[in-house]
A = this chain, B = another copy of it.
Amino acid sequence: MSAAISTLDVRQASRFFKALGDETRLRIVALLSHGELCVCHFESALGLSQPNASRQLGVLRSAGIVESRREGSWVYYRLAPQLDGFCKQQLKTLVSAFGRREVLKQDVERLLAARGPDSCR
How many copies of this kind of chain does the complex include? 2
B-side contacts of A98, CB under 8 Å: 8
In the bound complex, do residue B2 and residue A96 qualify as a contact, i.e. CB atoms below 8 Å apart? Answer: yes
B-side contacts of A100, CB under 8 Å: 5-8
Stretch among A11-19, A34-42, A110-118 lining the B interface: A11-19
In the bound complex, do residue B97 and residue A8 qualify as a contact, i.e. CB atoms below 8 Å apart? Answer: yes
In the bound complex, do residue B17 and residue A101 qualify as a contact, i.e. CB atoms below 8 Å apart? Answer: no
In the bound complex, do residue B17 and residue A26 qualify as a contact, i.e. CB atoms below 8 Å apart? Answer: yes
Given A21-B19, A21-B20, A93-B89; A101-B8 close (CB under 8 Å) = yes
In the complex, what's the smallest C-beta–C-beta distance from A4 to chain B, in angstroms? 10
In the bound complex, do residue A23 and residue B14 qualify as a contact, i.e. CB atoms below 8 Å apart? Answer: yes
